Amino acid sequence: MSIKSDIINALENNRGKPVSGQQLADELGVSRAAVWKAIQALLQEGYNISATRCKGYMLDESSDILSEAGLLTCLRSRGINTPLVFLSETDSTNIQAKRIALEGGQHGTAVVANKQTAGRGRLGRSFYSPADTGIYLSVLLSPKGAIPKPQMITVYAAVATARAIEKVCGISVGIKWVNDLYFNKKKICGILTEATLSMEGGGIDNVIVGIGINCTGSEEELPDEIRSKAGFLGKGGYTRNELAAEVVAQILKYGDCVFPDDVIEEYRKRSILTGKRITYTKNGSPDTGCVLGISDSGCLIVRSDSGDTDELFSGEVSITQF
């Protein structure tokens, strides 16, 4: 790791408490001038570090910079040693992860960005991805064996992200089928899972799990088309580096894309649609009904107003009343 990463590591571990320049220099085996230089670089990156004569350097409690050094610290402390590509700005982390996959990139590579200029959503939509307020990440999975139930990748991605948010932020989030996460009746996270196919084998070669989380912001800043639906996790008690690292760790827990049965159970428990009236599309026409539950393969089971039981494999539904 670089001096910068080591310093961030030391300051992160002492958030809100000063660490002397001499102590940092001694622990890292570098000169005080090298420590000073690295601190200047971190300040340039936007880290909120204060320097006090006699006391040393202190990372402010409120500092929430998404960075390579901070992410590496949080990933390695979770025992995750896979490659990390950090981009302060990119078109789309899914596009970058796909490019890395096609260039023979390593299984488990995480691509994390502070801003996306062409964030992609499901059903051909765009995903609003402004700087400094969210987490935009993609994990490249290249399982060696067959994927017995590909549809479970999407199911698990939602469960994994919900688990990470709960663990790091201490709040409980629900899943709106297929894989939107909701907090306080607002969408705070969207997930786009994509795959590359093998020409030889005919099966799935690589899976790209793309996750976008709205951490902070205000309703007024949101584009008109998502203002009534989107929300934020909120500030405090966590950093974006920690949350991003935990999401990656949870996704990699089943990086081979073979999932245990309790995943669908947890998805069911977190489902916010069960028992709700919804509108949906059936054979190209709009329909309304009541959600009965989620099937073992992750389909939405709906009792339509005309009395039919429909199983939806994909698409999007709207809740008539929360």
Q: Based on CB atoms, which residue is closest to ligand BTN, 24 or 230?
A: 230
Of these, 57, 127, 128, 156, which contacts ligand BTN (CB under 6 A)? Answer: 127
Taking the chain, what is the end-to-end CA distance rounded to the nearest angstrom? 48
Q: How far is CA 80 from CA 15, 167, 177, 250, 264, in A?
A: 22, 17, 29, 10, 25
Q: Please tell me the distance from the alpha carbon of residue 20 to that of residue 42, in angstroms, as a whole number.
A: 16
Using DSSP, state whether 108 is helix, strand or coil.
coil
Residue 228 C-beta: closest distance to ligand BTN, Å: 15
Asked whether position 138 contacts ligand BTN by CB under 6 A, the answer is yes
Asked whether position 119 contacts ligand BTN by CB under 6 A, the answer is yes
Q: ω before 139 within 30° of 0 (cis)? A: no
Of these, 21, 56, 105, 212, which contacts ligand BTN (CB under 6 A)? Answer: 212
Asked whether position 92 contacts ligand BTN by CB under 6 A, the answer is yes
Of these, 93, 142, 193, 250, which contacts ligand BTN (CB under 6 A)? Answer: 93
Positions 144 through 183 that interact with ligand BTN (CB under 6 A):
180
Asked whether position 130 contacts ligand BTN by CB under 6 A, the answer is no
Asked whether position 192 contacts ligand BTN by CB under 6 A, the answer is yes
Stretch in the footprint of ligand BTN (CB under 6 A) among 40-48, 116-124, 156-164, 275-283: 116-124
Q: What is the DSSP string of 166-200?
A: HHHH----EEETTTEEEETTEEEEEEEEEEEE-TT
Q: Please tell me the distance from the alpha carbon of residue 196 to that of residue 310, in angstroms, as a whole number.
A: 30
The site for ligand BTN, by CB under 6 A, has a size of: 20
Tokens describing residue 161: 């992200």
Stretch in the footprint of ligand BTN (CB under 6 A) among 2-10, 139-147, 189-197, 276-284: 189-197
Cβ-contact 31, 77 below 8 angstroms:
no
Footprint of ligand BTN (CB under 6 A): 92-94, 116, 119-122, 125, 127, 136-138, 180, 190-192, 210-212
